[in-house]
Structure 1
Amino acid sequence: MALKKGIKSFADIPGPSRIPLIGNLHLYKFGKYSVKKYHEAIRELYASYGPLVRQDLGNITTIHVFDPEDIQTVYRSEGHTPHVAPLLDTSKLYREKHNMSLGLGNTNGEEWYRLRSAIRKMMLRPTEVHYYLPFVQEVANDFVQRIEEKKNFDGKVHDLTKEVGKWGMESAGYVCFEERLGCMSGGETEVKSEAMFEANLMIFQISAQLKFSLPLYKYISTPKWRKLLLAEDYFYRNALSYIKRALKKVESEISQNKSLHGKYNFMTYLLSREELSMQDVIIITFSLFTDGLSTTVPALLYNLYCLATNPEVQEKAFREVIDVIGNKEKITADDLNDLSYLKAVVKETFRFFPVGTEVSRISQKDLILSGYEVPTGSRLDLSPNVHFSSEKYFKNANTFLPERWIRNREQASIHPYIMTPFGHGTRTCAGRRFAEQDLYIILSSILRKFRICYTNPKPLEQVYSTLLFPDGPVKMQFIPRS
């Protein structure tokens, strides 16, 4: 890449000092930065080195891209098959070792495009996603009833995170398999759902630790790798049992020449796609079923916290829900479209509590970012989160203000590439519409039934475990509305 006048070389990109073989890992091993607070380390990197920062974790070089203008440049440089780095290198390795389909998140190029094209109609079109609205609402109603039963005399719910995890698994299972899994029904099925939720958390926690260590686990079976394998094996084995049971029902219906019209829509659609192998069908279903445990579940907890700690916002959201939905038993797609303030609450919550630390990309062409050359094949972490509390980008940045996202002059002034929690372009999260529908339905259902109060004197904080999860129990009080 020939340098133009005034452009600095890739080698000149600033960042912390590097040691041969280990790069910057020593900064996380010996106390300057904390793996559990990696999101705070990223903010420190930005404050110390500016809008473009180099970080080396072992032999992996990552360029942190902080400036929204640079992020826009990256997105606009992409072709029809943007390349990404896997969220979980460990899960990709697990699937490779087990000869599994790698799925959307672990593939690039034409292989990714093949899978994406196959699921576009089912997962990315609002009308198809709205088909599952009654399923999602049924589970949401059961969750509200569950809260009613589980809360003690003063309205507090023991281990709310685990309860929300069961809701997430039950809702996703109903969508994928059109069958209730019993995650909130007590007995053996509920015990299994708890164990699966814990295993999923373990996968993300250990994967985060391994990201900040030399990759010895790729060559020898280290203690952490063995612990991760146990969690992966348990989680995948049980999820696969649900998937195979659903496939068996579909095959049975077909063999008996029964019409599947209006039944098992997700499964039958995937099975109808000639370009998908059975391994592809299984891993796509597996991803839709499981991904919400690490994304939608913490997002709901963050939304409840923001509503509870901003009672005037909560009241306004409640009034909108009552005006739009009232006491109707069935929530429609039109109702959801009219919940503009609640949608703004969800978006503002992503600003206060992002679920991820970055959106990853691998550059497919030479770029100039913040005056530096960035060659093809560079691993880029797009990290606008450092600006979410900046007055430069958000007026009254420390105030939880959903109104900023409702069409007005202020929204028009917000940089369009600063808030993209689901990514951007053709590599937008495939489950985005399902996640948003889940959040709008469950929040509406909870608001209609309860007033929510936060009962912990300490503010909610986040901990890095590959994604960002609540750091400790989320203590809420659910007060029935008269």
Structure 2
Amino acid sequence: MGLKTLCYQAHFKKPVKYITRYCQRCMSVAFAEESRTNTSTSQKIKPFKDIPGPKGLPFLGTILHYRNGPFRKFTVDRYQDALISRYKEYGPIVKENIAGVTSVRVFDPDDVRTVFLNEDKQPHVAPLLDTTKQYREQRDLSPGLGNTNGEEWYRLRSAVQQMMMRPKAVTVYLPLVEEVVDDFIQRIKKIRNSKGEIENFRQEAAKWNLESSGMTCFETRLGCLEDTPSSHIQRMISSNNAIFELSTKINFSVPFHKVLTTRLWQSLLDEEDYFFRNGQKLVDDTVGRIDHLREEGRLGEGKYNFLLYLLSRKELSFKDVSIITLSLFGDGLNTTVPTLIFAMYCIAKNPEVQHKAYEEVRDVLKDGGPITGEHINRMTYLKACVKESQRILPIGLEIKRILKKDLVLGGYLVPAGTIVELAPYVHYKSPEYFVDPDRFVPERWLRDGSALNIHPYLLTPFGHGPRMCAGRRFAEQELYVLLSKMLKNFELGYDGDLDMKFQVLMVPDRPTTFTFKERSS
């Protein structure tokens, strides 16, 4: 008896396709029942070697499918097309070897659920950027949260959980976030042209994000929003982007860089060195200011919250403190910024949605005071807009796990140690899972909307469980404050279309020009 059958018996008088919120009450019972069923029918479970997938060359696997030449099937920039093609050709589970790395890709959200529900307190993950892990090993740096597993990861995670993962803890930084947002709104008013347009808005959004992250991490204004920011600031932004571009190329190349310094690898080292060296200077300067103020007895309460908290944790080395801080400082450039751009685009292209979001923001912020955590909690429609934009234009296509025990996925026995890529992205615009899947409908995520019938493991942009993105609360807070202030001040417009380009994560595939029409009230 499977989960859908149990839900049918317990809650409905007709079959349902999706696990609903009501079904959370019986999820654990259903999972146990499914496990017993799998045990009793183990003879039907197919072996790992029979998992379907494209055939490739020895060691190289299918890498030639992604490179220029006669065997090319996909462009790396459009990696999302490869996922959809593999799903259509091979079904809900696919095994593929790319440049010597074999992984199993699962598309069915029920299999995603199986992986997540079988995790313990220390899930193992494959790094998002294996190149960054290698760089930090070469430079004798702390690997950071995303590049560790087991007890080492647990040590780091336990040290930052209270400060980074709890919503109330993150609201401490709201005044700093709002200060930068207010300055950014003024900059938008200043730099838009006579038509209200700002060309290449992604570059401006990157400046906002770096300035905001600088305030959160170092309580220092970096000057990103000045009329002529230093070339150093521009280079840090371009270096961060280059790291992702180069990492994507390396990931789809024969891994010669692991045994010798290739041209691509040297370029990556140069960009990583630049960003780390200048980021580390910010850490060192801030720690120096803290020490100086403490010696003079002038270190006020509530100052330098982020770094002081990390420095107070005895289980963290200074290398750990530096990498954790620099990860929060720089990661938003390729996560928060594209998420913002995609959300703005979806809102701008749907005037009725934009008007409804504006009315909510106007009502919530009518007191004119500083934004609080309570204000953000009340912006339910704005949050639904962001979540719906993450369905239409997601920044992540896959979540990677390394199985710690054997699991049955898609009817096949997948052994412990296998890299599993969870990729329900292929269903984000499927009528099988969403009503009117091509329409931007934030209402589907509201409590009184169709969210009750959306599989809870279908759209998890920040991951799930203990390995959920550590910077999630910071990113969401920044997004909601900026979007709410944008909508309060401007009517957003966008001409033309926008799509995604693969760069380890997904980013806009073209320069973005938004129109900011000032509101009369």
Q: What does 1:146-225 correspond to in 2, within 5 Å?
A: 146-187=187-228, 189-225=229-265
CA offsets, 1:136-178, max 9 Å, x none?
Answer: 1111111111111111000111221100000010001100011
Q: What does 1:116-135 correspond to in 2, within 5 Å?
A: 116-135=157-176
Work out whether residues 87 and 426 of structure 2, in 8 Å CA contact, stay in contact via their aligned partners in 1. yes
Provide the secondary structure at the position in 2 that maps to 1:5: helix
Identify which of 323, 327, 348 aligns with 1:308.
348
Give the length in aligned residue pairs.
479
- Identify if the C-alpha distance between structure 1 residues 255 and 2 changes in structure 2 by more than 3 Å, giving closer, same or farther: farther
Provide the secondary structure at the position in 2 that maps to 1:368: strand
Query: What corresponds to 2:51 in structure 1?
Result: 13
Alpha-carbon shift at residue 2 of structure 1 (Å): 13
Work out whether residues 185 and 486 of structure 2, in 8 Å CA contact, stay in contact via their aligned partners in 1. yes
Q: Does 1:371 align with 2:375?
A: no
Provide the secondary structure at the position in 2 that maps to 1:61: strand
Normalised to the residue count of structure 1, the TM-score between the two structures is 0.97
Alpha-carbon shift at residue 226 of structure 1 (Å): 1.2
Work out whether residues 94 and 105 of structure 2, in 8 Å CA contact, stay in contact via their aligned partners in 1. yes
Alpha-carbon shift at residue 50 of structure 1 (Å): 0.6
Query: What corresponds to 2:128 in structure 1?
Result: 87
Query: What corresponds to 1:468 in structure 2?
Result: 506
Work out whether residues 132 and 175 of structure 1, in 8 Å CA contact, stay in contact via their aligned partners in 2. yes
CA offsets, 1:416-461, max 9 Å, x none?
Answer: 1001000000110000010110110000111111111112xx4101
Q: Matched residues in 1 for 2:220 and 2:235: separation?
A: 20
CA offsets, 1:77-101, max 9 Å, x none?
Answer: 1110000001111111110000000
Work out whether residues 162 and 194 of structure 1, in 8 Å CA contact, stay in contact via their aligned partners in 2. no
Q: Matched residues in 1 for 2:335 and 2:281: separation?
A: 23
- Identify if the C-alpha distance between structure 1 residues 184 and 32 changes in structure 2 by more than 3 Å, giving closer, same or farther: same
Provide the secondary structure at the position in 2 that maps to 1:99: coil
Q: What does 1:132-143 correspond to in 2, within 5 Å?
A: 132-143=173-184
Q: Matched residues in 1 for 2:185 and 2:366: separation?
A: 16
CA offsets, 1:376-423, max 9 Å, x none?
Answer: 000011111110001111111111000000002511111010010000
Query: What corresponds to 1:68 in structure 2?
Result: 109
Provide the secondary structure at the position in 2 that maps to 1:433: helix
Work out whether residues 46 and 386 of structure 1, in 8 Å CA contact, stay in contact via their aligned partners in 2. yes
Q: Matched residues in 1 for 2:492 and 2:315: separation?
A: 48
Q: Matched residues in 1 for 2:429 and 2:352: separation?
A: 21
Q: Matched residues in 2 for 1:301 and 1:329: separation?
A: 27
Alpha-carbon shift at residue 329 of structure 1 (Å): 3.9
Q: Matched residues in 1 for 2:519 and 2:300: separation?
A: 42
Q: Matched residues in 1 for 2:256 and 2:313: separation?
A: 39
What is the aligned-residue RMSD (CA, Å)? Answer: 1.4
Q: Matched residues in 2 for 1:461 and 1:295: separation?
A: 16
Identify which of 22, 26, 35 aligns with 2:64.
26
Q: Matched residues in 2 for 1:34 and 1:55: separation?
A: 17
Alpha-carbon shift at residue 3 of structure 1 (Å): 9.7
Query: What corresponds to 1:280 in structure 2?
Result: 320
| Unmatched segments (≥5 aa) in structure 2 | 1-38
Q: Matched residues in 1 for 2:300 and 2:88: separation?
A: 57
Alpha-carbon shift at residue 260 of structure 1 (Å): 4.2
Query: What corresponds to 1:399 in structure 2?
Result: 439
Alpha-carbon shift at residue 214 of structure 1 (Å): 1.1
Work out whether residues 184 and 190 of structure 1, in 8 Å CA contact, stay in contact via their aligned partners in 2. no
Alpha-carbon shift at residue 250 of structure 1 (Å): 1.1
Alpha-carbon shift at residue 349 of structure 1 (Å): 0.6
Normalised to the residue count of structure 2, the TM-score between the two structures is 0.90
CA offsets, 1:215-251, max 9 Å, x none?
Answer: 1011111111111111111111111111111111111
Query: What corresponds to 1:243 in structure 2?
Result: 283
2:59 partner letter: L
Alpha-carbon shift at residue 255 of structure 1 (Å): 2.3
1:465 partner letter: Q
1:17 partner letter: K
Work out whether residues 173 and 181 of structure 1, in 8 Å CA contact, stay in contact via their aligned partners in 2. yes
1:266 partner letter: F
Work out whether residues 88 and 207 of structure 1, in 8 Å CA contact, stay in contact via their aligned partners in 2. yes
Q: Matched residues in 2 for 1:327 and 1:463: separation?
A: 41
CA offsets, 1:332-378, max 9 Å, x none?
Answer: 11111100100000100100111111111000000000100100000
1:33 partner letter: F
- Identify if the C-alpha distance between structure 1 residues 329 and 194 changes in structure 2 by more than 3 Å, giving closer, same or farther: farther
Query: What corresponds to 2:472 in structure 1?
Result: 432
Work out whether residues 443 and 449 of structure 2, in 8 Å CA contact, stay in contact via their aligned partners in 1. no
